[in-house]
Amino acid sequence: MDLKSSGKLKITLSKQLGKGLFERDELFIPENNIAVLRDTLNTVFPPSQPMAATPAAKTYTLDDIRKQHGQSAYTPWTDADDADLKKMHGEGYSVEQLAAHFKRSEGAIRSRLKKFGL
């Protein structure tokens, strides 16, 4: 069977052995065996829900998230927001207070503080 001309799943494992030196292992699964692989993996490593052939539909919308966490959820941080966040954190505001101020989730605030090493 010529795997180069047919559909296949390619799994690659690369290991760095030293500076600029890599070892690569590749595994090719022919397209007609992908369903068998999925079923086998579900048997060997039972997930909480079986692996689906297609991704599940989202059960939430961006509007739902913004209603819960504020209108700034999933919008880019501005330079002014970053400056205010650093200043307010330095002044002792809690994550909860910062989340309310910036209209973002507490997780978003913690993530942004971590990015700045705060």
Using CA atoms, how far apart are residues 20 and 32, in angstroms rounded to an integer?
A: 36
What's the burial of 28, exposed, middle or buried (CB within 10 Å: 0-12/13-18/19+)?
A: middle
Domain spans, the chain: 3-44, 62-115
Instruction: Tell me if 14 sits within 8 A of 24, measured CB to CB.
Output: yes
Q: What pTM was estimated for this model as a whole?
A: 0.48
Q: Degrees (nearest 5) of the Cα angle 11, 1, 4?
A: 50
pLDDT tens-digit map of 80-116? 999 999 999 999 999 999 999 998 889 999 999 999 9
Mean pLDDT, rounded, for 56-69 = 80
For 29, the token pair is 């699964």
pLDDT of 97 = 95
Distance from the Cα of residue 47 to its chain's centroid = 18
Across all residues in the chain, what is the average pLDDT?
83
Contacts with 28 (C-beta within 8 Å, 6 or more apart), sequence order:
3, 8, 9, 10, 11
pLDDT bin (cut points 50, 70, 90) of residue 53 is low
Instruction: Tell me if 14 sits within 8 A of 23, measured CB to CB.
Output: yes
